Structure 1
Amino acid sequence: MSAVATSTPGIMTRLRAMATGEVSAATLEAYRGAGGAVYDLFVKAEHRRSELVAAGKTAWTMTDSEHSFLAATWIAYSFQTLGDAFLQADYDADPGTVGFVPPVTARQADLFYGAVEEWLAAALRAQGDENFVLPRRIPVPLPAWVEVEPCPAAHLAAMMAACRTIAEHATIAVADCARAATDDTHKAERAMLQGELASLTSSSDYAQSLYQSSHAPGSALHERMETTIKAAIEGAFRLGQLAAMPAAITEDRNRRQNRTSTGPIRALPLPGMPGFDLFCLTDPHAAPHFRKDMKAQKALGYLWSRDPAPEATLAIQQEIAAALARGDISYAKDHRSQQGRCYYCCPWGAIYHVDHEVEIDRNRLRPGQEFAFDVSAEPLAEGGPFKRQIAVGNFFSTGETDYCDENR
């Protein structure tokens, strides 16, 4: 039987949680308790779609508000389902600390739960306002997966459970979409939906089969299941949106094509060559400030003088520039000021937000993640290698400025 937190955790539960470093799940419990409204609305949306199809409407002839209602409800439902799955899977795996979860589980569940309110509000608005149109472009990506090695067994269980539910409802949505449009007007779009559905169903079934037959999987098999089931969840989430708003299929395809057709990015001059910019790795929003700082100029001079392969460093910077030009990434902004942010260490590179899945310097980056290009000569002082890496993580504001030079 599944464990459910129904009362305040007792002293023994608190002691066990403290011993294992777990944190209170009180906020997550509040989110889960509020989820009843999401599930009720999802049932209404499913019923409404059936009514519209029965009345002869297709996913292409519904009104903007009807599309918005179905799409927003689907998004809120998917987020709620994922958050609930992560919370419940941890309780099932460790009944002795119900009411508490590991910090990584809290972060992951909070990312999903935190996105519910916006879409629930949009769905309710669309339900009551026939002129309402979603202000955001469909399809929206899932929030980023919280990266942890190894992936906790409870997280894998949560993803398996959530995928079964989300994929099942995505299948129903695609079937309704195809059933309503019987002529050849939108044959290509229907074929795309059905093809993507077949692909994600195959991936989900394969991962579920591996999971059920592997009682103690090794790290390689565990990682394979994790990668496969994440892709299936992302595919089902996307497909449910497109089935609710199929006009976005063509727009989405065009955006993808535009992202792959960006022209070549101008090569950056190497140190010592004409046109070389000492601040070429610095966030362009912060560069004017640092150009006036003599200490920053000295620190960058030291950095470039110690770089054993500046062509490799600039090649990664050009990959970033190309991804920015394609629209795969954008400058991450401070939530309050809406200004760009930079990494606190020399060379003070920009912090980027991943908008579409992209690979930079052999790092696979997912929508919702943030990263910075971390370049440093500091490891050389301890006999280590010159550092040039894509640093992925949650970046917080700080008043510190690290010049990372030899006189530090």
Structure 2
Amino acid sequence: MDEPHHPPSFLTRLRAGLAGERDTVYLEALRSAGRVAYDEMLSADELRERLPTLWNLPAATASQLLAAWNAFVLQTLGETILDADYAAQPGTVGYVPAVTFDQAASWLTAVGDWVSRARQARANPEYDLAMHTVLPAPLPAWAEVVACPPEHLAALQAAVAPLREHAEVALHTLVRPGVPPQYESAVNRLHQDSAAAAAAVEYAAGLRTGRHHPGLHELIEQKLKRAIELWYRVGQLASMPALLDGPRFDVWCMTDRATLARWKRDPRARQAVIDMWRHDPNPSATLAIQAQIEAGLRTGDLWYHVPSHGDTCYFEPPFSPLYDVRRPVRIAGLALRVSTQFAVRGGVNRGLVLGPFRPTRQVRYRLR
């Protein structure tokens, strides 16, 4: 069997080509670089063991634990899904189906950012991750596919096992010294979420058969994805229990960084952004769009658009940057072609606004 870090044989390339699989040289480089996530998790685990309790942690300490957890989970998921596919398809080691490639890439490309955040938290005792990103953070967007190949399902099944183990350990560590009375209900819900994730995985395992059935495969995929999302969230909340008081995030997380200071100084803009989130019927869906955009920025599929007239953001909340599509990509359910310009609208009118854009002196403080 070919090793993925060695040049594949002619037969391997031929089999992969016939199956429509993609070379994993890019993913293997990400895997190699991302292994620093395990060092960060080890450092976080050692810190966790020294702490008498995880309740009322300084923001920087909790930020380190959470960022290390996210980096570890995403690295583990990315590595596991690759190795599971190699094991299931030994004739094409070094190649994976397109959906598996996209899924592994979405996880592995996010690892570096979380490692950086963990190290910033270690270096700066005033660091607060909640001021820089949405917490608890959503998983990177799921790769979209019409028909999920059987080997991809096997890979997802393998990926949930290490995630379950570490999430349950993190939850046990949180509750071991006792739970403050004001957090008991929230911790009960964490146990409930962990149990729901375990039930979803066990149900998915019971659905597997030796025969291919599209409906069953779709149901298994849904169950496994739900379990991964739940355990990812449980681990974050167990690392930063202050989040159990309610989601903490920067309301400016979708705002153009180049003009951010201007909007923060404007009382009407501040209120408009707060109102946008308050009246959003599904904030998670809005944040999922932002997660897709951030994934596209990391991979180079997207970049920031700076028009010749100098305006860099859209004129209504959340005062989104303008983006350029550099490679075909799907955002918010829309297939975007190269050179498409877009911005993001939040709140009840959530979605993309397509360019081209022209300058305006108007600022819309209330969404239509």
5+ residue gaps, structure 2, are 251-277, 294-301, 306-311, 315-319, 324-328, 342-353, 356-368
Instruction: Give the corresponding residue for 1:137.
Output: 134
Relative to structure 1, is the Cα distance of residues 8 and 60 closer, same or farther in structure 2, using a 3 angstrom cutoff?
Answer: same
Pairs within 5 Å for 1:257-268:
none
**2:286 match:** 329
The unaligned stretches of length 5 or more in structure 1 are 256-321, 341-349, 354-367, 372-390, 403-408
Q: Does 1:168 align with 2:136?
A: no
1:363-402 aligned at under 5 Å gives the runs 370-371=331-332, 391-393=333-335, 396-398=338-340
Three-state SS of the structure 1 residue aligned to 2:141 is: coil
CA 1:326–1:159: 2 relative to 1, 3 Å: closer
Specify the code of the residue in structure 2 equivalent to 1:237: Y
Matched residue, 2:7 = 8
Distance 1:110 1:69 in 2: 24
The correspondence of residues 150-161 of structure 1 with structure 2, limited to 5 A, is 150-161=147-158
Aligned to 1:199: 196
Q: 1:20 offset after TM fit, Å?
A: 2.8
Shift of 1:4: 4.2
Post-superposition shift, 1:254?
11
8 A Cα contact 2:35 2:75, kept in partner: no
1:226 and 2:183 aligned: no
Q: What's the counterpart of residue 175 of structure 2? A: 178
Shift of 1:339: 4.5
Q: Which residue matches 2:60?
A: 65
The 1:398/1:36 distance shift into structure 2, 3 A limit, reads closer
What TM-score do you get using the length of structure 1 for normalisation?
A: 0.63
* TM-score normalised to structure 2 length: 0.69
Check conservation: 1:108, 1:146, Cα contact below 8 A. Answer: yes
Larger radius of gyration: 1
CA distance in 2, matches of 1:230, 1:369: 19
SS in 2 for 1:105: helix
Does the Cα contact within 8 Å between 1:3 and 1:91 map onto a contact in 2? no
SS of 1:113 mapped into structure 2: helix
1:95 alignment counterpart: 90
Alignment of structure 1 residues 230-245 onto 2, 5 Å: 230-245=225-240
Deviations 1:355-407 (A, max 9, x none): xxxxxxxxxxxxx9723xxxxxxxxxxxxxxxxxxx444654348x99xxxxx
Task: State the Cα distance separating 1:101 from its structure 2 match.
Answer: 2.3
Q: 1:178 to 1:109 in 2, by over 3 A?
A: same
Q: Are 1:3 and 1:88, in contact at CA under 8 Å, matched by a contact in 2?
A: no
How far does residue 67 in structure 1 lie from its aligned partner after superposition? 0.4
Contact 1:144/1:369, CA 8 A, preserved across alignment? no
1:34-82 deviation digits (Å, cap 9, x = unpaired): 2321123223322321221xxx22x222211110111001111111112
Amino acid paired to 1:30 = A
The match for 1:117 is: 112
**In 2, distance between residues paired with 1:187 and 1:243?**
13
Q: Which has the higher contact order (CA 8 A, sep 6+)?
A: 2
Percent of aligned positions with the same letter in both sequences? 34
Provide, for residues 279-310 of structure 1, a one-character-per-residue CA deviation record: whole Å limited to 9, x for no partner.
Answer: xxxxxxxxxxxxxxxxxxxxxxxxxxxxxxxx
Aligned length: 288
Note the C-alpha offset of 1:29. 0.7
Counterpart amino acid of residue 286 in structure 2:
I
Whether contact under 8 Å (1:16, 1:96) holds in the other structure is yes
CA RMSD of aligned residues (A): 3.4
Per the alignment, do residues 251 and 150 of structure 1 end up closer, same or farther by CA in structure 2, a change over 3 Å counting?
same
